[in-house]
Amino acid sequence: MSRRAGSSSNFQPGATEMWRASVLSIFPDMFPGPLGMSLAGKALASGAWSLDVADIRGFATDKHRTVDDTPAGGGPGMVMKPDVLGRAIDSIAVDARPRLLMSPRGAPLTQAGVESLAGGAGVVLVCGRFEGVDERVIAARGLEEVSIGDYVLSGGEIAAMALIDACVRLLPGVMGAAASGNEESFADGLLEYPHYTRPQLWEGRAIPDMLTSGDHGKIAAWRRAEAERLTSERRPDLWTAFLRRFRSGSRTG
Protein backbone atom coordinates (compact mmCIF):
# COMPACT_ATOMS: atom_id res chain seq x y z
CA MET A 1 0.00 0.00 0.00
CA SER A 2 1.32 3.40 -0.75
CA ARG A 3 0.24 6.33 1.31
CA ARG A 4 0.63 10.00 0.93
CA ALA A 5 2.67 11.51 3.70
CA GLY A 6 2.18 14.90 5.22
CA SER A 7 -0.26 17.53 4.09
CA SER A 8 -0.98 17.95 0.41
CA SER A 9 0.27 21.53 0.48
CA ASN A 10 3.80 20.22 1.13
CA PHE A 11 3.82 18.03 -1.91
CA GLN A 12 6.22 18.42 -4.78
CA PRO A 13 5.55 16.81 -8.15
CA GLY A 14 6.61 13.18 -8.13
CA ALA A 15 6.55 12.93 -4.34
CA THR A 16 3.05 11.52 -4.02
CA GLU A 17 4.17 7.94 -3.32
CA MET A 18 5.60 6.81 -0.01
CA TRP A 19 9.39 7.21 0.08
CA ARG A 20 10.82 3.70 0.16
CA ALA A 21 14.17 2.47 1.46
CA SER A 22 15.27 -1.06 0.58
CA VAL A 23 18.45 -2.22 2.29
CA LEU A 24 20.63 -5.25 1.52
CA SER A 25 22.80 -6.41 4.40
CA ILE A 26 24.27 -9.50 6.02
CA PHE A 27 23.12 -8.00 9.34
CA PRO A 28 19.42 -7.28 8.73
CA ASP A 29 18.75 -7.31 12.49
CA MET A 30 20.64 -4.01 12.78
CA PHE A 31 17.55 -2.36 11.19
CA PRO A 32 15.56 -0.32 11.87
CA GLY A 33 17.79 0.27 14.94
CA PRO A 34 18.01 4.01 15.50
CA LEU A 35 15.74 4.60 12.49
CA GLY A 36 12.90 3.07 14.52
CA MET A 37 13.12 5.80 17.15
CA SER A 38 12.42 9.51 17.48
CA LEU A 39 11.54 11.43 14.33
CA ALA A 40 12.45 8.76 11.79
CA GLY A 41 10.69 6.09 13.86
CA LYS A 42 7.50 8.10 14.18
CA ALA A 43 7.55 8.85 10.47
CA LEU A 44 8.09 5.14 9.77
CA ALA A 45 5.17 4.19 12.01
CA SER A 46 2.93 6.83 10.41
CA GLY A 47 3.72 5.64 6.89
CA ALA A 48 5.70 8.68 5.72
CA TRP A 49 8.36 6.24 4.54
CA SER A 50 8.88 2.48 4.43
CA LEU A 51 11.85 0.23 5.10
CA ASP A 52 12.49 -3.31 3.95
CA VAL A 53 15.70 -5.14 4.63
CA ALA A 54 16.87 -8.19 2.68
CA ASP A 55 19.35 -10.62 4.22
CA ILE A 56 22.10 -11.13 1.64
CA ARG A 57 22.94 -14.46 3.29
CA GLY A 58 19.53 -15.75 2.25
CA PHE A 59 20.75 -15.71 -1.37
CA ALA A 60 23.73 -18.01 -0.75
CA THR A 61 23.31 -21.52 -2.08
CA ASP A 62 25.70 -23.62 0.03
CA LYS A 63 24.85 -25.07 3.39
CA HIS A 64 27.18 -22.64 5.20
CA ARG A 65 25.38 -19.73 3.49
CA THR A 66 28.70 -18.31 2.34
CA VAL A 67 28.65 -14.66 1.21
CA ASP A 68 32.40 -13.97 0.92
CA ASP A 69 35.58 -15.45 -0.46
CA THR A 70 39.31 -14.70 -0.53
CA PRO A 71 40.52 -11.81 -2.72
CA ALA A 72 41.79 -12.69 -6.19
CA GLY A 73 45.47 -11.75 -6.32
CA GLY A 74 45.92 -12.35 -2.59
CA GLY A 75 46.00 -9.99 0.33
CA PRO A 76 44.14 -9.68 3.60
CA GLY A 77 40.44 -9.98 4.30
CA MET A 78 37.52 -11.29 2.31
CA VAL A 79 35.44 -10.02 -0.59
CA MET A 80 31.66 -10.25 -0.98
CA LYS A 81 30.80 -12.70 -3.74
CA PRO A 82 29.20 -11.25 -6.89
CA ASP A 83 26.87 -14.21 -7.51
CA VAL A 84 25.25 -14.05 -4.05
CA LEU A 85 25.09 -10.26 -3.95
CA GLY A 86 23.79 -10.14 -7.54
CA ARG A 87 20.90 -12.44 -6.64
CA ALA A 88 20.14 -10.37 -3.55
CA ILE A 89 20.02 -7.17 -5.62
CA ASP A 90 17.86 -8.87 -8.26
CA SER A 91 15.31 -9.76 -5.58
CA ILE A 92 14.40 -6.06 -5.50
CA ALA A 93 12.28 -5.09 -8.48
CA VAL A 94 13.87 -2.48 -10.73
CA ASP A 95 12.10 0.86 -10.31
CA ALA A 96 12.87 4.57 -10.37
CA ARG A 97 15.00 4.41 -7.22
CA PRO A 98 18.79 4.81 -7.44
CA ARG A 99 20.80 1.74 -6.39
CA LEU A 100 23.58 2.88 -4.14
CA LEU A 101 26.53 1.01 -2.68
CA MET A 102 27.76 2.43 0.59
CA SER A 103 31.51 2.75 0.01
CA PRO A 104 34.41 4.87 1.27
CA ARG A 105 35.46 5.17 -2.38
CA GLY A 106 32.15 6.71 -3.35
CA ALA A 107 31.05 10.24 -4.08
CA PRO A 108 30.83 12.11 -0.75
CA LEU A 109 27.24 12.49 0.44
CA THR A 110 26.26 16.16 0.72
CA GLN A 111 23.12 17.97 1.85
CA ALA A 112 22.38 18.75 -1.82
CA GLY A 113 22.64 15.03 -2.57
CA VAL A 114 20.38 14.22 0.38
CA GLU A 115 17.79 16.73 -0.85
CA SER A 116 17.84 15.20 -4.28
CA LEU A 117 17.41 11.65 -2.88
CA ALA A 118 14.65 12.77 -0.50
CA GLY A 119 12.80 14.35 -3.43
CA GLY A 120 12.76 11.06 -5.34
CA ALA A 121 10.99 7.73 -4.90
CA GLY A 122 13.46 6.38 -2.32
CA VAL A 123 16.71 4.40 -2.37
CA VAL A 124 18.05 0.87 -2.69
CA LEU A 125 21.14 0.62 -0.48
CA VAL A 126 23.73 -2.14 -0.57
CA CYS A 127 25.79 -2.47 2.62
CA GLY A 128 29.29 -3.82 2.10
CA ARG A 129 31.25 -5.79 4.67
CA PHE A 130 34.75 -7.28 4.86
CA GLU A 131 37.15 -5.64 2.33
CA GLY A 132 34.21 -4.69 0.14
CA VAL A 133 32.33 -6.20 -2.80
CA ASP A 134 33.47 -7.83 -6.06
CA GLU A 135 33.94 -5.04 -8.62
CA ARG A 136 31.90 -6.88 -11.27
CA VAL A 137 28.67 -6.70 -9.33
CA ILE A 138 29.05 -2.90 -9.02
CA ALA A 139 29.34 -2.61 -12.81
CA ALA A 140 26.77 -5.27 -13.70
CA ARG A 141 24.04 -3.86 -11.46
CA GLY A 142 24.93 -0.21 -12.05
CA LEU A 143 25.55 0.56 -8.39
CA GLU A 144 26.49 4.17 -7.59
CA GLU A 145 29.06 4.33 -4.80
CA VAL A 146 28.31 6.79 -1.99
CA SER A 147 30.58 7.65 0.94
CA ILE A 148 29.51 9.28 4.20
CA GLY A 149 33.00 10.61 4.89
CA ASP A 150 36.72 10.07 4.59
CA TYR A 151 37.07 7.36 7.22
CA VAL A 152 36.51 3.62 7.12
CA LEU A 153 33.61 1.91 8.89
CA SER A 154 33.47 -1.84 9.43
CA GLY A 155 30.32 -2.12 7.33
CA GLY A 156 27.85 -0.18 5.25
CA GLU A 157 24.92 -0.46 7.68
CA ILE A 158 25.70 2.62 9.77
CA ALA A 159 26.43 4.57 6.58
CA ALA A 160 23.06 3.47 5.17
CA MET A 161 21.32 4.55 8.37
CA ALA A 162 23.01 7.96 8.21
CA LEU A 163 21.88 8.43 4.60
CA ILE A 164 18.30 7.31 5.34
CA ASP A 165 18.06 9.49 8.46
CA ALA A 166 19.24 12.57 6.56
CA CYS A 167 16.64 11.94 3.82
CA VAL A 168 13.71 11.03 6.06
CA ARG A 169 13.87 14.25 8.09
CA LEU A 170 13.33 16.17 4.84
CA LEU A 171 10.21 14.25 3.80
CA PRO A 172 7.02 16.30 3.78
CA GLY A 173 5.47 16.51 7.22
CA VAL A 174 8.29 14.74 9.09
CA MET A 175 9.92 17.72 10.76
CA GLY A 176 7.46 20.47 9.92
CA ALA A 177 8.98 23.91 9.75
CA ALA A 178 12.27 23.01 11.43
CA ALA A 179 13.83 21.16 8.48
CA SER A 180 12.25 23.24 5.78
CA GLY A 181 13.92 26.48 6.87
CA ASN A 182 16.82 27.72 4.78
CA GLU A 183 18.87 28.42 7.86
CA GLU A 184 20.29 25.00 8.59
CA SER A 185 23.94 24.13 8.10
CA PHE A 186 24.78 23.73 4.39
CA ALA A 187 21.40 25.09 3.22
CA ASP A 188 23.04 28.06 1.52
CA GLY A 189 26.59 26.76 1.66
CA LEU A 190 27.27 28.08 5.18
CA LEU A 191 27.45 26.40 8.57
CA GLU A 192 24.66 27.30 10.96
CA TYR A 193 24.86 30.19 13.45
CA PRO A 194 25.14 29.41 17.22
CA HIS A 195 22.03 28.63 19.26
CA TYR A 196 21.12 29.69 22.80
CA THR A 197 18.19 29.10 25.13
CA ARG A 198 17.25 29.88 28.73
CA PRO A 199 18.59 30.46 31.32
CA GLN A 200 19.73 33.93 30.27
CA LEU A 201 22.82 33.61 32.48
CA TRP A 202 24.50 30.20 32.86
CA GLU A 203 27.80 29.67 34.71
CA GLY A 204 28.53 33.39 34.26
CA ARG A 205 27.92 33.23 30.50
CA ALA A 206 25.11 35.38 29.10
CA ILE A 207 23.07 34.95 25.92
CA PRO A 208 24.37 37.59 23.44
CA ASP A 209 22.36 40.81 23.99
CA MET A 210 21.46 40.99 20.32
CA LEU A 211 19.32 37.84 20.57
CA THR A 212 17.19 39.24 23.37
CA SER A 213 16.85 42.70 21.76
CA GLY A 214 13.62 41.82 19.94
CA ASP A 215 14.98 43.51 16.78
CA HIS A 216 14.42 40.81 14.18
CA GLY A 217 16.35 42.57 11.44
CA LYS A 218 19.42 42.90 13.63
CA ILE A 219 19.06 39.34 14.88
CA ALA A 220 19.00 38.04 11.30
CA ALA A 221 22.07 40.13 10.44
CA TRP A 222 23.92 38.88 13.54
CA ARG A 223 23.10 35.26 12.72
CA ARG A 224 24.24 35.68 9.15
CA ALA A 225 27.53 37.27 10.27
CA GLU A 226 28.09 34.44 12.77
CA ALA A 227 27.36 31.80 10.10
CA GLU A 228 29.91 33.45 7.81
CA ARG A 229 32.48 33.75 10.61
CA LEU A 230 32.12 30.08 11.63
CA THR A 231 32.28 28.88 8.04
CA SER A 232 35.40 30.91 7.22
CA GLU A 233 37.11 29.76 10.43
CA ARG A 234 36.17 26.10 10.33
CA ARG A 235 35.57 25.18 6.71
CA PRO A 236 37.79 27.05 4.27
CA ASP A 237 36.56 24.65 1.56
CA LEU A 238 32.92 25.69 2.02
CA TRP A 239 33.88 29.33 2.47
CA THR A 240 35.84 29.47 -0.79
CA ALA A 241 32.94 27.83 -2.65
CA PHE A 242 30.49 30.24 -1.01
CA LEU A 243 32.53 33.31 -2.01
CA ARG A 244 32.88 32.01 -5.55
CA ARG A 245 29.12 31.52 -5.87
CA PHE A 246 28.38 34.84 -4.20
CA ARG A 247 30.73 36.74 -6.54
CA SER A 248 29.54 35.03 -9.70
CA GLY A 249 25.95 35.58 -8.55
CA SER A 250 26.49 39.32 -8.06
CA ARG A 251 28.34 39.59 -11.41
CA THR A 252 25.53 38.01 -13.37
CA GLY A 253 22.99 40.12 -11.62
If the CB atoms of residues 29 and 151 are measured against ligand SAH, the closer one turns out to be 151
What mask of x and - would describe binding to ligand SAH in positions 24 to 63, judged by CB under 6 A? ----------------------------------------
- Give the DSSP letter of residue 72: T
Decide: is 22 part of the binding site for ligand SAH (CB under 6 A).
Answer: no
Which of 127, 167, 174, 211 touches ligand SAH (CB under 6 A)? 127
Does 168 sit near ligand SAH (CB under 6 A)?
no
- H/E run at residue 230: helix 216-234
Position 154, amino acid:
S
Which of these ranges, 19-27, 99-107, 178-186, 241-249, lies near ligand SAH under the rule CB under 6 A? Answer: 99-107
CA distances from 76 to 69, 104, 152 (A): 11, 18, 16
Do you know the residue count of the chain?
Answer: 253
Angle at 23 between CA 18 and CA 24, to 5 degrees: 150
Cis peptide before 199 (omega within 30 of 0): yes
Burial of residue 101, with CB atoms counted within 10 A of its CB: 0-12 exposed, 13-18 middle, 19 or more buried: buried
The answer to whether residues 44 and 35 touch, using CB atoms and an 8 Å cutoff, is yes
Q: Is 84 helix (H, G, I), strand (E, B) or coil?
A: helix
Residue 143 found at the interface with ligand SAH (CB under 6 A) = no
Q: Which is nearer to ligand SAH, 22 or 231 (CB)?
A: 22
Longest dimension (CA), the chain: 71
Q: Are 27 and 157 in contact (CB under 8 A)?
A: yes
Residue from 3, 105, 244, 247 touching ligand SAH (CB under 6 A): that is: 105
Q: What is the nearest approach in angstroms of ligand SAH to the Cβ of residue 135?
A: 12
Residue 203 sits at φ, ψ, to 5 deg, of 50, 40
Q: Which is nearer to ligand SAH, 101 or 191 (CB)?
A: 101
* Residue 82 interacting with ligand SAH (CB under 6 A): no
Interface region with ligand SAH, contact rule CB under 6 A, candidates 11-19, 61-69, 96-104, 168-176: 96-104
- Nearest residue (CB) to ligand SAH, 122 versus 128: 128
Distance in Å, CB of 82 to ligand SAH, minimum: 14
- Report the interface residues with ligand SAH, using CB under 6 A: 102-105, 127-129, 131-132, 147-149, 151-153, 155-156, 159
